[in-house]
Structure 1
Amino acid sequence: MNKAIPKINTQLRSHTILVPEVYREATGVLINGKRIKSLVFSTDVAVIANCNADAVIAVYPFTPTIQITEAIISVAQRPVFVGVGGGTTAGKRVESIALDAELHGATAVVLNAPTATEFVQNLADDIDIPVVLTIVSLNEDLEKRMLHTKANIINVSGGKDTVKIVKKLREIDPNFPIIATGGPTEETVREVIQAGANAVTFTPPTNGEIFKGMMEEYRHRYD
């Protein structure tokens, strides 16, 4: 028998960004006892502090720095998957950033798609937190990337091909941990989960979008 869950929302936190309930349908990935079904894709500390996602995936298009990592971890109060490069930023620098991220409390590190297989293998040997390897295309050697890099988790960010990539990966290994982007609607999120993703990333509204709604609401008070 399903029981209703009591919900309490306080006034000052009424604008909390809530992950859609469809994300709860995922099995989740269990990392050191913490079950993660949803990850908010953001580096905005205000958004991160006011979102109910299970974890944070902090990947951004600039060279990763420990200052950004520290800021996000201190605000998040939940597991943080930290982007450490692998594309433009490569080599020893990535190794140093990854180790710093671990020592500052990151739950996992995320490598970009261009990262060489041998590099992923070496990094996995050097740090004690999970290595998440991003896959963006069906044209990659999916079996090699999934099973022969020593990556602990695959992160699928394939745009319109995300569901196809997840399905192909599930044909290779039915149990390997997979995170995937969920897309813009509940239907696309559910499709990714049904394809085999264990956890799904959630792209929240921006500060500007939230402010726009609030300002419109304030203006209506004077109509």
Structure 2
Amino acid sequence: MKREKFVPEFNGVLRSHMVRLPKVIRDCSGISIFGRRIKSILFSTDVAMIKNTDADAVIAVYPFTPQPKITEAIMIAADIPVFSGVGGGLTSGIRVINLALDAEFKGAMGVVVNQPTPNDIVKKIAETIDVPLIVTVVSEEEDIEARINSGASILNVSGGANTVKIVKKIRSIAPFFPIIATGGPTDETIKETIEAGANAITYTPRHSSEIMSDRMDIYREREEGN
């Protein structure tokens, strides 16, 4: 009978309150990048959360035109590897390629492009950078083989309710290709995504305002108890 390894743990006092990702994520295989095994990935651009999380890495994608200053701020705050969003939707063409190279120079472990990114741009980015190129997949209709052949290093599945189906489809086409996928809000949905074939899981935390609201409730209770 295999015994579980005992893992000594130190949390300190000031950092004991942090964004902890679901432990079920540890059940996935992970993806080894430059010798570092990545299983859990925080989906956030909030530097306070990025600084206070037990995730293995962070994926920093946001709904605005990617800017080097934002990448720089996240890189300065992070104690963990960063996968930096470089566009591919509204931001396209040579600008995406330049942003990808700039993100690598700033220290990003990988760069992420959005689903609308054309395969010719994917190919040019892959030829330009020396870090993983993560290509986002949002639909079962996506031409997976074309994405892989264009130079994608990792596929990032963000298909909402269809994520598990998309992961299964990718696995049927490319049994050993690296897959990051959104795990959903519960241990059950995360486990289902892992069983479908995801190697690493992205997790979206509660909004910082909600977490702050919880802390304020605790402070009020303390005051009322005095």
**Could you say which TM-score interval applies, normalised by the shorter chain?**
over 0.9
1:3 to partner: Cα distance: 3.5
**Corresponding residue for 1:208?**
209
1:14 to partner: Cα distance: 2.1
**Corresponding residue for 1:131?**
133
**Corresponding residue for 1:10?**
12
2: CA distance between counterparts of 1:88 and 1:120?
A: 15
1:10 to partner: Cα distance: 1.8
Q: 3-state SS of the aligned residue for 2:14?
A: helix
- Report Cα offsets for 1:118-147 as digits up to 9, x if no partner: 1101110011111000000012222322x3
2: CA distance between counterparts of 1:8 and 1:106?
A: 27
**Corresponding residue for 2:161?**
160
1: CA distance between counterparts of 2:90 and 2:184?
A: 26
- The answer as to 2:182 corresponding to 1:171 is no
Deviates more, 1:122-131 or 1:3-12: 3-12
1:218 to partner: Cα distance: 1.1
- Report Cα offsets for 1:13-52 as digits up to 9, x if no partner: 1211111110100100000001000110000000000001
2: CA distance between counterparts of 1:121 and 1:75?
A: 31
Q: 3-state SS of the aligned residue for 1:148?
A: helix
Q: Which runs of 5+ in 1 are unaligned?
A: none
Q: 3-state SS of the aligned residue for 1:11?
A: coil
**Corresponding residue for 1:197?**
198
1:194 to partner: Cα distance: 0.5
Corresponding letter in the other structure for 1:65: Q
1:5 to partner: Cα distance: 2.3
Identity of aligned residues (%): 56
Instruction: Work out which of the residue numbers 114, 117, 120 in structure 2 matches 1:118.
Output: 120
Aligned structure 1 segments of 4 or more residues deviating by more than 4 angstroms: none
Q: Spell out the pairing of 1:22-101 with structure 2 (5 A cutoff).
A: 22-101=24-103
Q: 3-state SS of the aligned residue for 1:30?
A: strand
1:8 to partner: Cα distance: 2.5
Q: Which runs of 5+ in 2 are unaligned?
A: none
- The answer as to 2:188 corresponding to 1:187 is yes
**Corresponding residue for 2:111?**
109
TM-score (norm 1): 0.97
2: CA distance between counterparts of 1:20 and 1:128?
A: 31
Corresponding letter in the other structure for 1:23: I
1:97 to partner: Cα distance: 0.7
Corresponding letter in the other structure for 2:41: L
